[in-house]
């Protein structure tokens, strides 16, 4: 089980994700309309949303929360099996690099609009 600070991070970001994900998933839900279904996943909807500052902020918060949550969760699991100080330092460095790269990679399209 992850340590105190790690666990609190997991719980806090988990609660936040639960709320934000409902909005995210509802947005891309399929709605029955006459003669088929309607979805917001087409290009005009996606590009319009990405030009909106509100949605930019929404996605920055969602992306950061999800990445922080998964970072803490995976690190917590690895800490259970890698118990040495040197091993844990390597875990810290490797996971931090991977997740920071993912965060930057995810932020670029949001910022690009």
Query: Which residue(s) pair with 39 in the sheet?
Result: 30
Query: Is position 109 an interface residue for other proteins (rule: CB under 8 A)?
Result: yes
Query: Which one among 4, 5, 34, 37 touches other proteins, defined by CB under 8 A?
Result: 37
Query: Is position 80 an interface residue for other proteins (rule: CB under 8 A)?
Result: yes
Kindly state the helix (H) or strand (E) to which residue 38 belongs, with its residue range: strand 36-39
Count of alpha carbons within 13 angstroms of residue 101, beta-carbon side: 6
Cα gap 112→51, rounded to integer Å = 9
Q: At 104, list the tokens.
A: 């930057």
Report the sign of the C-alpha dihedral through residues 111, 97, 95, 4, in that order.
negative
Query: How many residues sit in the footprint of other proteins (CB under 8 A)?
Result: 33
Give residues 82-101 in contact with other proteins (rule: CB under 8 A). Answer: 83
Query: Which one among 17, 65, 68, 75 touches other proteins, defined by CB under 8 A?
Result: 17
The answer to whether residues 76 and 6 touch, using CB atoms and an 8 Å cutoff, is yes
Query: Is position 6 an interface residue for other proteins (rule: CB under 8 A)?
Result: no
Write out the residues near other proteins by the rule CB under 8 A: 7, 11, 14-15, 17-18, 21, 25, 29-30, 32, 37, 41, 43, 46-47, 50, 63, 66-67, 70, 73-74, 77, 80-81, 83, 102, 105-106, 108-109, 112
């Amino acid at each position: 089980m992850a340590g105190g600070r790690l666990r609190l991070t997991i719980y806090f970001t988990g609660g936040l994700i639960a709320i934000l994900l409902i909005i995210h998933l509802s947005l891309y839900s399929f709605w029955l309309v006459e003669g088929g279904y309607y979805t917001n996943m087409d290009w005009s909807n996606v590009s319009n949303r990405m030009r909106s500052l509100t949605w930019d902020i929404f996605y920055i918060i969602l992306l950061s929360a999800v990445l922080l949550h998964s970072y803490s969760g995976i690190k917590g699991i690895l800490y259970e099996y890698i118990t040495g100080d040197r091993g844990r330092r390597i875990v810290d460095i490797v996971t931090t690099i991977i997740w920071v790269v993912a965060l930057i990679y995810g932020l670029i399209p949001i910022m690009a609009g």
